[in-house]
Chain A
């Protein structure tokens, strides 16, 4: 018996998206259910049962399930995690509350920072001290540890985070605490800062450890329960979990380090875009994922997106850096801004048109949905401009209310600003597109890149709708719109490679690197990765990199190292300078140093087609007038994407509709339908 069926399951705030793929039958099958927030497993098992039934797949044929969830994020935002106690070095119990001592918004005197996950009375210092080089200055006071932990447990602590000074250099005290607790208080989960984030910075390390401890009990229960539910359905295939950096990992690893699941949704989108880039043979693309509340833009190579190694979770204000809790976490390097289909448009105090970051969300949603929304949104503007068919939205399940939308636009935007209805709608789209373009330019500049040469890969419910306008603003001449804009995250789960990312802090001048020690660190990391990946070493691809900076700078930039062997200091210096110049436009004299050594280990991902068999029948629907940026209102042909045949070539102005999204391209565009039913668009001058 060969088991070939794999299923991706993406639990979002509103919908649970699923995608089943069976290479043996050439089958790719989507599903979508409302998320069941009280018990997310219900929608998952119901969704899987439905997919299996619809595709005639016996449960035992399922070879793997890849899961991603917003549960970690929700636990943090709703503050429903465990009662955590923090053990740190004596004298530093306020490490969480002192934080970075900044005001994240200097214009708002009353702005409050994010509340620490552990209140002050549950933060305890214990005797025992290491020096900056890891040498022991004072041994760990084990009696002190047990007394403090005993008190914490009496106060209702359910999980313990341990974050001692300089533990990234030497974890002996932290390990000793863990071993003590395992003996004296077995069953109390313990997170060590040296295990979750072995890099310099006591606040960020403590914050990361506390976050992991905070979400671990509920995530463990959730994942175990899901495993049991799947077994009850007859699915005994491995359950894997999507990570924030774009890889997938095992159930056991996810339970030990659940904080790594924080940003799995946005990561999955970019992994999907990478798969699209590979199929098209593009070296890299600009991934453009626009949903209901935000737009996410990232440079993505066929090999996957770039990653960053810090993140901020649980922001008080989602779009204000510094308002959240820092996490030393490998995440996909993307820029996210408050422009989504549900972003609300309104004049500000100066009489300027603002769009977002406030969003109508899915409830009440845009005015057009008729669910009580009264403030016009980007989606409402799209409707008035002809980009959406009021009768065909979500396959006709949600008739859109054009008359109400026009009224709301007039009342909230057009009249206060002295515009007509269409002008107000066009203005909303222009402002939203401009802020996405500005974000894209900033993101590209951070990589030292220009938008010009990229192909724009658009997905998410609102991404395809705005792809043409964004491409025009960025002077991008090629747009790619895969089928199934709405389930790209679930698709990303299926194509994501199993991955283990690790880092070790060992600062040293570039000319004085202790290569023996570094080689040992890499061997240790590689052994751990291979064990977690559960593979024989031959399949594992190891990529090494390091964070370098000029001596005296604060921020490092990540520089690729050769995959094996010891790089010559001169080569490393040259690579650093090239990367630095590409990023900042200049390189400097003066000594450089390595701060952190990194290893990313991965197994090959899966490449699977996104398309489906075209449905028979005339693809042409009734044409309509559509507003195009730079052209105004034009009569456009309308095409049903499910009925277009591969190889079809068309010209704009044209609209392409699928169930969950639509896209429109102006008269200067040539559009080709490729084998996957993906639209490849050339935007002419």
Chain B
């Protein structure tokens, strides 16, 4: 194909659309209510062509989610064909097999019309503050996890579909914030829509077809070039995790490189379980694409073309490709493990780029809920992170999430929003796996209940018995644990009570080390001792 644009024309157009979706993402962040969007960056914003293939994806947010937006829009377009759309429509869905893998994530798709023609779609996905259902962990099927929204029109020609809105809001605990977040997504769509039209007007182009074809070709070629650098072969790794009682999780990962294609298959992984740690194939794809992309071709802007050379497959009925109605709300406890497996598998061919297991793969999430002494209800997530794995040349980052990028909120804000008190939040000396390069440190967070009422404590994590392993002779990081001041341990997948006056210490795990500990340079050993990073 002859290029439609010269290197200048293409760069100018591409930069313009990339800036537009970043602007839309910033609008969403600034207007969102959910702390999960704000503090965990649990969202994505994209602009697709008229076939639903992304042309631009927001740089901030969950990188893996953007990789799902093309297939998501494609599935929505199977139900709502191009002829049916009107300007001002908006379709929403949270179907875990269509969208991002669990019910709290709501995706929205809006068409963009230019001079009467449908030219593009704006898409977002974001974690809503509540989606109904029973509290975490009890669920043994999807329906008990909350309200399932198949692709439905929330807006028709700019007017809200009253029935859909009422039904949705009637089934959640926090209708106000949930609606506020949907408004934030709509505001982001509005930015995309305006910027897309402006783009076509300014460049005097009728639609995005030529541009989309070209950026898809370019990104596809970049990924294929990177894959070609890898020696052909089959690379394998297995990862084990606590899983749920009686059902430890095993991930079996086979990476096959043939010329300019790369396949990741999970045959041999654990079967799906009647507990909410199943990862739909969508989520499995997202958390395979992202760790792979940053190994192969980190710098290039992503779009639909970036994922064409990559196949992600898993047998139906496994924990990484469960069938409906598998419960999925804690799917990250499985999905985050995939990054460890992929990096481990590629260690022989990309030794300078991969990292050892991260303590935060999977992330440990803690939630408190109750009433304060004045009888006012509260619900508060504790945002804190484990240590990252070390790489060949660098120590792992302490208290930093990977493969997600959830940050941590302010302690002062936490204490304003809840009656709880944080007694300490400190690095956990000695928790980083020893090695020539040390794993990142986890942290200890101690939370005290000063109220007269018991507080519900929900802990969702892993790595209680399976630490983040090291690579190339590096040692594992410390395991995770949650311990009450009575000395009693709180299981890492549990719902329990924090009694009045009681405290709990949650210890976030450390990352794996890289290389033999004896090879660590003396000056780094001294610095570790001076800083108190080791015991």
Binding site for B on A (CB under 8 A): 90-94, 97-98, 100-103, 106-110, 112-113, 119-121, 131-132, 137, 165-166, 168, 200-203, 347, 349-354, 417-419, 423, 426-427, 430-431, 434-435, 438-439, 441-442, 445-446, 473, 507, 550, 552-555, 584-586, 588, 590
- Interchain CA distance A287-B155 in the complex, whole Å: 40
- A108 to B23, Cβ gap below 8 A? no
Q: Is the interface of A mostly helix, strand, loop or mixed?
A: loop
Q: A352 contacts B33, CB within 8 Å?
A: no
Which chain B positions have C-beta within 8 A of A91? 422-426, 446
Q: What is the chain A residue whose CB lies nearest that of B428? A: A94
Known: A97-B398, A102-B406. 20 other contacts (CB 8 A): A90-B424, A97-B399, A98-B399, A98-B427, A101-B383, A101-B384, A101-B408, A106-B294, A107-B293, A121-B530, A202-B412, A347-B7, A350-B218, A434-B15, A445-B27, A553-B32, A553-B180, A555-B30, A584-B31, A590-B180
Contact of B424 among A92, A202, A349, A417 (CB under 8 A): A92
Whether the pair A120, B176 counts as a contact (CB closer than 8 A) is no
Contact residues in B for A101 (Cβ distance below 8 Å): 383-385, 399-401, 406-408
Q: How far is the CA of A354 from the CA of B6 in the complex (A)?
A: 13
**How far is B401's CA from A100's CA once the two chains are assembled, in angstroms?**
11
Give, as a whole number of angstroms, the nearest-CB distance from B439 to chain A: 14
Inter-chain contact B411/A349, CB cutoff 8 Å = no
A92 B413 Cβ-Cβ under 8 A:
no
User: Please, which residue of chain B has its CB at the minimum distance from the CB of A168?
Assistant: B412
CA distance A350 to B216 in the complex (A): 12
Q: How far is the CA of A231 from the CA of B398 in the complex (A)?
A: 51
Binds A, one of B97-105, B183-191, B487-495: B183-191
A154 → chain B, closest Cβ, in Å?
Answer: 14
Question: Could you tell me if B427 and A552 are in contact, using CB atoms closer than 8 angstroms?
Answer: no
Task: Output the nearest chain A residue to B35 by Cβ-Cβ distance.
Answer: A554
Which of B11, B32, B393 has the largest number of chain A CB atoms within 10 A?
B11
Which residues of B, 208-267, contact A by the 8 Å Cβ criterion? 218-219, 221-222
| Set of chain A residues within 8 Å of B14, measured between Cβ atoms | 352
Q: Given contacts A92-B411, A119-B531, A590-B180, are A585 and B187 in contact (CB under 8 A)?
A: yes
A438 B391 Cβ-Cβ under 8 A: no
Which of A91, A418, A419, A507 gathers most chain B CB within 10 Å?
Answer: A91
B394 within 8 A of A: yes
Contact B299 A200 (CB under 8 A): no
The interface residues of chain B lying within 8 Å CB-to-CB of A201 are 410, 412-413
Assess whether A120 is in contact with B532, with CB atoms less than 8 Å apart: yes
Interface residues of B in 408-467 (CB under 8 A from A): 408, 410-413, 415-416, 421-427, 443, 446
**In the complex, are the beta carbons of A438 and B400 less than 8 A apart?**
no
A103's nearest neighbour on chain B, judged by CB, is B405
Q: Is the CB of B394 within 8 A of A112?
A: yes
Tell me whether A165 and B411 are in contact (CB under 8 A). Answer: yes
* Chain A residues, CB < 8 A from B26: 442, 446
Give the nearest-CB partner of B195 in chain A.
Answer: A441
Given A92-B426, A552-B177, A585-B187, check contact A200 B532 (CB 8 Å).
no
Closest-CB distance, A311 to chain B (whole angstroms): 17
Report Cα–Cα, A550/B176, bound state, in Å: 11
**Which 10 residue pairs are nearest across A and B when measured between Cβ atoms?**
A91-B424, A427-B8, A132-B415, A438-B19, A101-B408, A120-B531, A102-B407, A352-B11, A434-B12, A554-B38
* Closest Cβ–Cβ distance, residue B373 to chain A (whole Å): 13
Residue of B with least CB distance to A427: B8
Q: For residue B12, which residues in chain A have a CB less than 8 angstroms away from its CB?
A: 430-431, 434
Contacts A201-B413, A445-B23, A590-B176 given; does A354 touch B187 at CB 8 Å: no
From B19, B32, B63, B298, contact of A554 by CB (8 A): B32
Decide if B412 touches A113 in the complex (CB within 8 Å): no
How many angstroms between the C-alpha atoms of A418 and B32 in the bound complex? 46
* Closest partner residue, chain A, to B410 (CB atom): A201
Chain A nearest CB from B178 CB (Å) reads 11
The answer to whether B298 touches A107, judged by C-beta atoms less than 8 angstroms apart, is: yes
CB distance from B504 to the nearest CB of A (A): 14
Residues of B contacting A97 with CB < 8 Å? 398-399, 427
CB < 8 Å neighbour of A555 from B15, B29, B300, B416: B29
| B window 1-38: CB within 8 A of A | 6-8, 10-12, 14-16, 19, 22-23, 26-27, 29-33, 35, 38
Taken together as a complex, chains A and B put the C-alpha atoms of A282 and B222 apart, in Å, by: 49
CB contact list, B38-65 vs A, under 8 A: 38-39, 41, 59, 63
Which residue in chain B gives the minimum CB-CB distance to A434? Answer: B12
Structural contact, A94 and B426, CB atoms closer than 8 A: yes
B480 at the interface (CB under 8 A from A): no
Whole-angstrom CA separation of A585 from B23 in the bound complex: 14
A165 to B59, CA, bound (A): 33
Residue-by-residue, is B177-210 near A (CB-CB < 8 Å gives 1, otherwise 0)?
1001001001100110001000000100000000
Query: CA A553 – CA B183 in complex, angstroms?
Result: 12
B23 partner residues in chain A, CB cutoff 8 A: 441-442, 445
Q: Are B187 and A132 in contact (CB under 8 A)?
A: no
Bound CA span A107–B405, Å: 11
The interface residues of chain B lying within 8 Å CB-to-CB of A507 are: 416
Tell me, yes or no, whether B533 is within 8 Å of chain A by CB: yes
Alpha-carbon gap, A649 to B484, bound state (A): 82
Known: A132-B412, A351-B7, A552-B180. A113 touches B33 (CB 8 A): no
User: With A350-B222, A554-B38 known to touch, is A102 a contact of B412 (CB < 8 Å)?
Assistant: no
- Chain B neighbourhood of A120, CB < 8 A: 427, 531-533
Q: B335-360, CB under 8 A of A: which get 1 and which 0?
A: 00000000000000000010100000
Indicate if the CB atoms of A165 and B63 lie closer than 8 Å.
Answer: no
CA distance A554 to B180 in the complex (A): 12
Distance, CA A552 to CA B353, complexed state (A): 40
Q: Nearest Cβ distance between residue A379 and chain B, in whole angstroms?
A: 18
User: Is the pair B180, A107 in contact by a Cβ cutoff of 8 Å?
Assistant: no
> How distant is A120 from chain B, measured CB to nearest CB, in Å?
4
Pairwise interchain contact A200-B425, C-beta atoms closer than 8 A: no
B329 contacts partner chain A, Cβ-Cβ < 8 Å: no
Q: Are B300 and A121 in contact (CB under 8 A)?
A: no
Chain B residue numbers with a CB within 8 Å of A435 are 15, 19
Contact: A98 with B7, CB < 8 Å? no
Decide if B314 is an interface residue (CB 8 Å cutoff): no
Contact (Cβ within 8 A) A431 B11: yes
A102-B405, A119-B531 known; A553-B33 Cβ under 8 A: yes
B287 within 8 A of A: no
- State whether the Cβ of B109 lies closer than 8 Å to any Cβ in chain A: no
Q: Cβ of B402 and Cβ of A200 under 8 Å apart?
A: no
A-B contact pairs, 24 of them (CB 8 A): A91-B426, A93-B426, A94-B443, A98-B427, A101-B400, A102-B400, A102-B401, A103-B402, A106-B63, A106-B294, A112-B394, A119-B531, A352-B7, A417-B6, A418-B6, A427-B6, A430-B12, A431-B15, A434-B16, A438-B15, A446-B26, A554-B29, A584-B27, A584-B31
With contact pairs A94-B443, A119-B531 given, residues A352 and B10 touching in the complex (Cβ less than 8 Å):
yes
Contact B299 A349 (CB under 8 A): yes
Cβ–Cβ contact B11 & A108, under 8 A: no
A90, A100, A200, most chain B CB atoms within 10 A? A100
B92, CB-defined interface residue at 8 Å: no
Q: Does B273 contact A (CB under 8 A)?
A: no
Nearest-neighbour CB distance to chain B for A208, whole angstroms, equals: 14
Chain A neighbourhood of B394, CB < 8 A: 110, 112
Q: Which residues of A contact B398 (CB under 8 A)?
A: 97-98
Residue of A nearest to B394 (CB): A110
With A and B bound together, what is the CA distance between A120 and B533 in angstroms?
9
**Cα distance A392–B12 when bound, in Å?**
32
Q: Which residues of B contact A439 (CB under 8 A)?
A: 19
Residues of B within 8 A of A107 (CB): 63, 293-294, 298-299
Q: How far is the CA of A438 from the CA of B293 in the complex (A)?
A: 27
| A351: nearest chain-B partner, CB-CB | B7
Cβ of B397 < 8 Å from any Cβ of A?
Answer: yes
In the assembled complex, the CB of A126 is this many whole angstroms from the nearest CB of chain B, namely 13
Which of A101, A200, A352 has the most CB atoms of chain B within a 10 A radius of its CB?
Answer: A101
Complex formed: what's the CA distance from A533 to B136 in Å? 58
CA distance A106 to B7 in the complex (A): 26
